[in-house]
Amino acid sequence: MKRGFLNSSKAKARPLGPALQSKLIGAAAEFDVPFRKGQIAVGAPTTPTFRMAPSPGKGMGLFSTRALKMGDLILSERPLFVTVTRSKLIASLDFTEEQQKQHSRNEWERHYELCVNRMQPADKAALMALANCNENDGFGSIDGIVATNAFGLEDLGLPGREEEYIAVGKDLSRLNDNCSCNTSHRFDTPSFSYQLFAVHDIAAGEELTTGYTYLDCSTAERHQKLKPFKVVCTCAACTDRVASDARRASIALCNPGERPFSESFARVWLLDPTLPDDWLPFKCEAQLALIARESLEHLPMHCEAVTTLMEAEWAAKLDTFVWEKRHMNVKALLDPASPAYEAHPLWRKRQKSCPVSKPRKRVPLPEVVEGKIVYPTVRSK
């Protein structure tokens, strides 16, 4: 699961076999010693970065207490509660769909109760104080809280079963949704903690937000996926949906079939020696401009576009930084016998297929015109 919560489209429903059922755990009860004192884990910020406060129309939320820079660590916390990803539990083939659903909810509630009753009182109280958007939907009280607040815990699963676990955090689960979110989290397995980072600069007092669903899709798709959280998102992207949808479609298209950016555009560039050298850097810059415009810096495509740009263009620029200790000799990058050449696959392939460099021109960035992305220059092959 790239980001977000239990109901993410990637959280697959699968039967819960006995082996998995026995793994159902209350993290606070099961993993102790180094982190038992509070929720703060290794690497936590030394000065407070956030506070919890009401967010109009959204219940409680987290707000920055000081200006944060892109990449700043906001919080680091051990999950309160870890469990296997919720799946439908089959009871009887004679059950109606609704009876089946209710059976599943009852079973999950029974399992959760076993775990929660093993938790430390303070952890249990913190868990039970979290929001529950499923209160009147036939969910048990713990099940409802887990469904409202759980994050994917993909780094704990075995290969091929990465989406097996989910977790709830005392502070992390207070993050509200925004389709142009300003934070991203990852799970640090050695410290068994979630770490939350600023994905762009954040002003003091700004609400900290995350994306509950995949965000490189249309407003209508996002709203559909937000339904289980009872969220009707009114963020800037949802309000300016025509232009925003066009930009997001273009960002997602740069990643057809979830192939890394470097494999889609870089491949075209690598294999076509008639394209100018600046074709790929241009594509990267266009992608970066759209990502920045939509505040989608948390997407893997952002990192991929920067990496591709670095390899395609900035490697050559490094040649001029002779005053820098780590100065990289680009001649080495051009020499197939050198280790530097070997270490840069993208550059290497480009040099192989297109040995003659063509001059790099700056081009204006794409714009949205009547809901469509318009690239300013038609690039000739």
CB of 164 to ligand SAM, least distance (A): 21
Does position 233 bind ligand SAM by CB under 6 A?
Answer: yes
Query: For residues 16 and 233, which CB has a smaller minimum distance to ligand SAM in the complex?
Result: 233
Report the site for ligand SAM in 212-231 (rule: CB under 6 A). Answer: 229-231
Report the site for ligand SAM in 145-204 (rule: CB under 6 A). Answer: 148-149, 173-174, 176-177
- At 373 the three-state DSSP class reads strand
Ranges of H-type helices in 272-320? 279-294, 300-309, 315-317
| Token couple for 150 | 């759980």
Among the candidate windows 55-63, 85-93, 279-287, 366-374, which touches ligand SAM by CB under 6 A? 55-63
Interacting residues of 220 by C-beta distance below 8 A, sequence separation 6+: none
Tokens 């887990």, residue?
146
* Helix, strand, coil fractions of the chain, as percent rounded to 5: 40, 15, 45
- Residue from 15, 56, 57, 359 touching ligand SAM (CB under 6 A): that is 57
Distance CA 133, CA 86 (A): 16
Does position 144 bind ligand SAM by CB under 6 A?
Answer: no
| Token couple for 300 | 């893997």
CB of 112 to ligand SAM, least distance (A): 17
Query: For residues 122 and 232, which CB has a smaller minimum distance to ligand SAM in the complex?
Result: 232
CB of 87 to ligand SAM, least distance (A): 20
- Residue from 34, 38, 48, 59 touching ligand SAM (CB under 6 A): that is 59
Query: For residues 142 and 231, which CB has a smaller minimum distance to ligand SAM in the complex?
Result: 231
- Number of chain residues interacting with ligand SAM (CB under 6 A): 18
Interacting residues of 171 by C-beta distance below 8 A, sequence separation 6+: 39, 50, 52, 62, 75, 77
Task: Give the C-alpha distances (Å, rounded to integers) separating 90 from 11, 110, 359, 378.
Answer: 18, 15, 63, 56
Taking CB atoms, the residue at the shortest distance from ligand SAM is 59
Query: For residues 238 and 254, which CB has a smaller minimum distance to ligand SAM in the complex?
Result: 238
Distance CA 76, CA 195 (A): 4
69: left (phi over 0), alpha (psi -120 to 50) or beta: beta
Query: For residues 5 and 269, which CB has a smaller minimum distance to ligand SAM in the complex?
Result: 5
- From residue 104 to residue 143, what is the string marking binding to ligand SAM with x (rule CB under 6 A)? --------------------------xx-x----------
- At 245 the three-state DSSP class reads helix
Residues near ligand SAM, by CB under 6 A = 57-61, 130-131, 133, 148-149, 173-174, 176-177, 229-231, 233
